[in-house]
Amino acid sequence: MTQAATSPTPPPSTPASATTPLASGRVFNFSAGPSALPEEVLRQIQQDVWNINATGMGILEHSHRGSLIDAVFAQAEADVRAAGSIPATHRILFMTGGASAANYLLPMNFMTPGATADYIVTGHWANQTWLQAQKLAGKPGFGSAHLAADTAATAHSTIPAAAELRFSSSPAYVHYCSNNTLEGTQWHRIPETPPGVPLCVDVCSDIFSRPTDFSRLALAYAGAQKNLGAAGTTIVIIRDDFAQRGNRDIADLLQFRTYIPDLSRPNTPPVFAIYVVGLMARWILRHGGVAAMERHNAAKAKLVYDVLDRSTFYKAHARPADRSLMNITFRLPTEALTDRFVEQAAAEGLANLRGHRNVGGIRASLYNAMPIEGATALAQFMREFERRHG
């Protein structure tokens, strides 16, 4: 394991060994997740899979109850806490089932009889969350669900203004999705909610991409496979008193509180994925923390949005004020040109640019680990493609 360095180095750029994406044998990977990992982290993993901390065993082989994993998990939790400035009031849990499982665990735990849970739908994933709540709403043992806002009328190209949020009279909680991975929109503020109402957020595709005031959130959750590493664990940041309020009548493994003692180990956890979250949190700390990530992400996104803004060929999906710094979505004039764009980009080492199957077009995901050179190469490719085909 690498220890967090004391002085941060500048935000990451292309590794010295790579002069062009293809020369290193690796490409710029614009996948929405699982997605690119930093070379430093991959090299560390290579080493630790073989023999971690001179134990004579790799990370995949250690018992989840052994002292090595005790240390790995404690360090991962400490580094996630430091990287996210998570307050002492909140617990950090490593769960399974991805962000999708958290979508239904939320109403299962907190949409109690007599209570109403409010949902803000701003895209595909926020809608999935809403659908999961509706499955339970009105059933014995559960309360009801209320739609506080829905941006379907703009094809989810927008984020609602405060005046568009219509909450129920006394919500048990409000749920929103901070970054809409398919559509490429992002909340640039925490939504205005009635005072004292627990706010729950799906941060799957922008966790630790910028500073977040977690003290204002009762629960935040993310699959690790975008900004925090490998698929297999869900990072849950939950206010302790909120966790304790949850439903006790459901299976223990479906209750958030079950994961609080013993470093998220009520059963065999996804050890490898949690270990990688630790490496990613340390990598963020080494490179200046989430504030540096935000500057780095804004600079990368600007390179691509500038091309879109100067073009009549490409059509950006998101309203400019609501654009995501993580997932940039746009269309070309025809499907044939879209196919050609994706193919030619891949041939030049710019991989995974096809939009989600539900949305179409192009999507470029520029998570923390994408170096600025990747965004520069994409912007250049886009300009050149427009010159040839526009």
In the complex, the residues that contact ligand PMP under the rule CB under 6 A are 32-33, 98-100, 125, 177, 181, 202, 204-205, 223
- Minimum Å gap between C-beta 70 and ligand PMP is 26
Q: Does 226 participate in catalysis according to the annotation?
A: yes
Query: DSSP string of 300-357?
Result: HHHHHHHHHHT-SSSEE-S-GGGB-SSEEEEE-SSHHHHHHHHHHHHHTTEE--BPPT
- Minimum Å gap between C-beta 113 and ligand PMP is 27
List the catalytic residue out of 226, 283, 300, 322: 226
Measured from the CB atom, the residue of 174 and 307 that comes closer to ligand PMP is 174
Distance CA(156)–CA(144), nearest Å, equals 24
Measured from the CB atom, the residue of 183 and 348 that comes closer to ligand PMP is 183
Measured from the CB atom, the residue of 324 and 338 that comes closer to ligand PMP is 324
Measured from the CB atom, the residue of 98 and 171 that comes closer to ligand PMP is 98
- Minimum Å gap between C-beta 202 and ligand PMP is 5
- Minimum Å gap between C-beta 244 and ligand PMP is 25
List the catalytic residue out of 48, 79, 118, 202: 202
Q: Does 202 participate in catalysis according to the annotation?
A: yes
**Residue for token pair 């926020």:** 126
Q: Which amino acid is at 175?
A: H
Distance CA(67)–CA(51), nearest Å, equals 15
Is residue 371 a contact partner of residue 12, using CB atoms and an 8 Å limit? Answer: yes
Measured from the CB atom, the residue of 18 and 99 that comes closer to ligand PMP is 99
**C-alpha 365: how far from chain center:** 11
Supply the angle between the helices 372-389 and 289-309 in degrees, to the nearest 10: 10
What tokens appear for 24 in the block? 């290193």
List the catalytic residue out of 48, 125, 130, 322: 125
Distance CA(265)–CA(287), nearest Å, equals 30
Distance CA(71)–CA(228), nearest Å, equals 19
DSSP state of 258: G
- Minimum Å gap between C-beta 82 and ligand PMP is 24
Measured from the CB atom, the residue of 99 and 369 that comes closer to ligand PMP is 99
Whole-number Cα distances in Å, 236 to 92, 190, 261: 6, 18, 14
DSSP H/E element including 282 = helix 271-286
- Per DSSP bridges, beta strands 234-239 and 28-29 are unpaired
- Minimum Å gap between C-beta 367 and ligand PMP is 11
- Enzyme catalytic residues: 125, 202, 226
